[in-house]
Amino acid sequence: MASLEQIQAFLGQKRLAFVGLSRQDKDFSRILFNEFQKRGYEVIPVNPNADEIAGLKCYAHVQDIEPPVENALIITPSEATEGVVQDCATAGVKRVWMHRGEGIGAVSQPALDYCQAHQIDVVDGYCPFMFFENAQWFHRLHGFVVKVTGKYPQ
For 64-109, write each residue's pLDDT tens digit: 999 999 999 999 999 999 999 999 999 999 999 999 876 678 999 9
**pLDDT for res 138:** 60
**pLDDT for res 144:** 59
Q: How far apart are the C-alpha atoms of 88 and 127, rounded to whole Å?
A: 20
What's the pLDDT band for 140 if we cut at 50, 70, 90? low
If we measure between CA atoms, which residue out of 115, 16, 18 comes closest to residue 68?
Answer: 16
* Mean pLDDT across the chain: 90
Domain boundaries defined on the chain: 4-148
Beta-carbon count within 10 A of 52 CB: 11
| 139 exposure class (CB count in 10 Å sphere: 0-12, 13-18, 19+) | middle
Q: What's the pTM value of the predicted model, to 2 decimals?
A: 0.91
Beta bridge partners of 52: 57
**pLDDT for res 105:** 87
Domain 4-148: assigned CATH number: 3.40.50.720
E strands within 11-79?
A: 15-19, 42-46, 52-53, 56-57, 71-74
| Contacts for 149 with CB less than 8 Å, ≥ 6 apart | none
Residue 147 has pLDDT above 70, yes or no: no
Return the ∠ at Cα 137 (arms to 135 and 143), rounded to 5°: 75
